[in-house]
Structure 1
Amino acid sequence: MQADLGFFNQDANSQHTYGRIANGADFRRARLGVKGALMDTVNYTWQMDFGFFGRPTFTDVWVEQTQIPYLGNVRVGQWKQPFSLEVVSSYRYTTFMERSSLFQAFTAFRHLGVGFYNNAEDLSATWAGSVFVSGNDQYGGTLFDFENAAGLRSNINMGGVGTTERLTWIPYWDDSTKGANYLHLGAGHFFNAPPGHTVSFRSIPEFYIGQNAPGVLGTSGQSAPGIFNGTPFFVNTGTKSVTCYNVLGTELLWVEGPLSLQSEAMVNFVTQESTTATLPGVYSQIGYFLTGEHRPYDRKAGAIDRVIPKKNFSFRKDGCNPGMGAWEIAGRFSYLDLNDKAIQGGTITDYTAGLNWYLNPNVKFVVNYIHSSTNYAGVGGLAPLPGAISRRNETDMVGARCQMDF
């Protein structure tokens, strides 16, 4: 469960471009699920989210067969596709309230498909790949009239097709500190031929608050799901005709005790009928545990793991054995450029400062300040404000979160 509160402050250009963004509160996520094993070599997960518009809906629903020669583990269903350290790491373990602007614009995230993953015997490397249908809705469904290479329609209705591949390597791991010092390197590729050969690349400003704008059923006053209002996309290419696109990504995570450095860079090569646009993005972040903890790592998954405080927060009247939990300060810079050739979706530069308080391994409080600077005129292009000398939009956000998972 993640309960969020957010406030916005916009300059005149920002209000002109995005409208007045409302402050608010919501449940960013509220999930229930089950996972287990059907037998020694078959695992399953079934999870639904109740905390957002259009919910409840599926998040992770899959079954996998383990211990398969060469492939390792084969999974079928809907899950987070293997591309990007931010994607494969759980939202429960992220440093900030939202993933970077690259995440929404360039990654595959959850889709219905089949894939495999495996790791080296010494846990120094992982590899994974998948094939999936792209463009599916929140319940895993997709419809698409497939055309063959000659442009002739097939009698078989198929969804758009995507693939992901990911490799990770741990060149440095300090066993003497039980994994408190290590270096993670990774690389990945994401290919997508989207349904209808149309796509839009877009991103929120690394913070989100929203509310359902419902209709009414009869005289009961009971609201029904309808239009959803919330933090708008700060950069957006609008719908573009494409043949396909390929995203290449690199990953770095260096942890030295309480200090962590994390960065990813991506380049999206968008193939259109007569040209190829190149859209880059990057984020870098730093974190430091004031109480001496470190950022754990799951070597089998090549992903960030759960923070374990040295001493859980506790307060007793007798003053015996008090604990303050784990405290972390963090900062992040991110940049996303959606402008090249026929694609003009704007640029966004975000600066985020964060404070995290981990009361215990399952409960934490988060406070983020985000400054977002965009060069964006809206889909289709808005006329600038009278007398404006710049199309740059400046927006400040403050967010707070209470998170609990079990």
Structure 2
Amino acid sequence: MIRTTLAAAIGLAALAAPQAQAQSASNNDEIALLKQQLHLLEQKLDRLQKQTTANTQAAAKADAKAEATKTAANANAALPVKVAPPASGVVVTMPNNRPTICTADDQNCVSLTSRVHFDAGGYDYHPNTAGTVPQRLDDGTNLRRARIGVLGKFFGDWNYALIYDFGGSSDGFGGTAPGSLPGGGVSGVENAYLSYTGLKPFGGKMAIEGGIMDIPYTLDEATSSNDILFMERASAGVIATNIAAGDFRSTFGTHWWNDVFWAGAYVTGPTTGAIHSASSITPPGTTEQYGAVARAAGQIVSGKDYSLHLGADAEWLIQPPHNLVTGAQTVTLSDRPELRIDPTALISTGAIANASGAQVYSIETAATYGPLWLQGEYYWFNVDRGAATGLPPFGAPSLKFQGGYAQASYVLTGETHTYNPAAAAYNGINPTNPFSLAGGGWGAWEIAGRVSTIDLNDQLATATGVAGGRQTIYTAGLNWYVNRNVRFMLNYLHGNISKQAAPTSAADVGSKFDAVAMRTQVAF
């Protein structure tokens, strides 16, 4: 186009030349000037043409490069993407303020756990007669539990625990029993077990475990001591679990659960504090006992703000401890009055001679409706006296006892006790607004009441009967859940112990008491 314009301009100049000759000579200068301008335009045209060509080539190269990049990107998109391997190391978390260290894949973990229950209180104790034993109960304090240990897992399915309890110190005059500290307290290895949870039959989960552990027998015992409603469990349940279950117990067994149902069975041995030796040193050695427990329970009805729990339990003492020196084979049923400030037991069968075994059968029920919680259990005891020890009494019939409790609570701040299917028991309260002066929260507040009874009398007025006494205790409680890890408990107890001096003596050696106690609890 530029060349066409130039040609047209030259043509016009050629046409104008003849006319210029006809004009005066002065026009020659003008013609010369025009020729000079045309020459300059031609040079400028050449430069523009070269610049245009260079720009076109550069643009073409850029387009080619972009196309090549796009083609390479499309080709790479079809190849697998290489992902950098996960960073090695550990992950530190604080679930429920419990320090926990896990590998990055969460297959191996170790946690630090602890609980401290510190009690203080006093009694207003009234023996019925001068023949009542004891004549007084001591006020004071008790480091009820002081546990520290580790929980963990490895390879995802293997779980373990090692927990030691330094608690059990007690003011009072309870004496020392095998496996006990002065004053009646117990201390030692509370948990040391291994559990495998890799099996998941019938759409649920299963644990196979063994070692030293707290056996989940009965509803109250399956509830953590951090979550029980009162400072102590009811006497009927404590007496039952002490026969062949409870804390510090050696065991091996299994349990299965899903969201609705729980079932388990365990064989059991002695506790960690039991003395079992064939030597004749003082105190004389005894053979190890063994027994078994079974439980079936579940949350048969549940909804957003309600639930109903039912269950049944069985316990068998198959081989009672046998004294290798004296030949005695005995079983003792006893408990302190649902408080551990003074370690004295007010009801006791004493050592039942020639005990060849014992059985306990019980039922359990509980329900929640919003902030309301109801729970109860009842127990039937049977002690067989058919052991061939060569010691009296000979041919004595079996003994039968019974007892139970019913309790209720209401959370004033509206929280509810949630259900834990893995234990078939209820959790403690997690405050919606933990106590905080800065945040304005006041924690959760709960009021509670319980009535419990245990009857350890049987075959009275006979020489082979047992006058262990009948105990009824009414308890009122106030619980303040400061946060998920701190709780304060205030309990008032009124107890009545009806007891006669011997099976064949109606002399009254019973007592009455009132007690007030407080617990400071810290746990994670």
| The structure with more radius of gyration | 2
AA at the equivalent of 1:237: T
Counterpart position of 2:246: 109
CA distance in 1, matches of 2:142, 2:206: 40
CA distance in 1, matches of 2:358, 2:125: 34
Q: Does 1:303 align with 2:425?
A: yes
AA at the equivalent of 1:172: V
Q: Does 1:57 align with 2:188?
A: yes
Mark the CA change 1:72 to 1:12 in structure 2 (over 3 Å): closer, same or farther. Answer: closer
Q: How many residues are aligned here?
A: 358
Q: CA shift at 1:303, angstroms? A: 1.7
SS in 1 for 2:226: helix
CA distance in 1, matches of 2:482, 2:261: 32
Q: CA shift at 1:393, angstroms? A: 1.2
Counterpart position of 1:202: 334
Counterpart position of 2:518: 400
Q: Does 1:237 align with 2:349?
A: yes
CA distance in 2, matches of 1:18, 1:56: 25
Residue correspondence of structure 1 range 96-175 to structure 2 within 5 A: 96-107=230-241, 108-110=245-247, 111-120=249-258, 123-134=259-270, 136-138=271-273, 142-143=276-277, 159-174=288-303
Q: Does 1:21 align with 2:113?
A: no
CA distance in 2, matches of 1:381, 1:51: 40
Q: CA shift at 1:377, angstroms? A: 4.3
CA distance in 2, matches of 1:293, 1:268: 37
Q: What's the CA shift string for 1:132-182, capped at 9, x where partnerless?
A: 113x342x764579xxxxxxxxxxx962211000001211111xx2xx311
TM-score (norm 1): 0.83
Task: Select the residue among 239, 250, 259 that pairs with 2:372.
Answer: 259
Give the structure with the larger helix fraction.
2
Q: CA shift at 1:380, angstroms? A: 9.0
CA distance in 2, matches of 1:356, 1:35: 28
Contact map agreement 2:133 2:509 (CA 8 A) in 1: no
Task: Select the residue among 184, 189, 196 that pairs with 2:314.
Answer: 189
Contact map agreement 2:147 2:166 (CA 8 A) in 1: yes
* Structure 2: gaps (5+ residues): 1-115, 170-180, 280-285, 323-328, 387-395, 460-464
CA distance in 1, matches of 2:437, 2:418: 26
Contact map agreement 1:372 1:396 (CA 8 A) in 2: yes
Residue correspondence of structure 1 range 283-302 to structure 2 within 5 A: 283-302=405-424
Contact map agreement 2:466 2:503 (CA 8 A) in 1: no
Q: What's the CA shift string for 1:216-270, capped at 9, x where partnerless?
A: xxxxxxxxxxxxxx33101001111211111001111100010011000000011
CA distance in 1, matches of 2:254, 2:399: 31
Q: CA RMSD in A?
A: 2.2
Residue correspondence of structure 1 range 54-93 to structure 2 within 5 A: 54=181, 56-68=187-199, 70=201, 72-93=206-227
Higher relative contact order (CA 8 A, sep 6+): 1
CA distance in 1, matches of 2:412, 2:385: 49
* Structure 1: gaps (5+ residues): 146-156, 210-229, 385-389
Task: Select the residue among 357, 360, 368 that pairs with 2:480.
Answer: 357
SS in 2 for 1:102: helix
SS in 2 for 1:253: strand
Contact map agreement 1:14 1:394 (CA 8 A) in 2: no
Contact map agreement 2:474 2:495 (CA 8 A) in 1: yes
TM-score (norm 2): 0.65
Contact map agreement 2:145 2:166 (CA 8 A) in 1: yes
Contact map agreement 1:144 1:195 (CA 8 A) in 2: no
AA at the equivalent of 2:294: E
Q: CA shift at 1:329, angstroms? A: 0.3
Q: CA shift at 1:86, angstroms? A: 1.1
CA distance in 2, matches of 1:137, 1:380: 34
CA distance in 2, matches of 1:391, 1:96: 28
Q: CA shift at 1:345, angstroms? A: 0.6
Mean CA deviation greater in 75-84 or 248-257 = 75-84
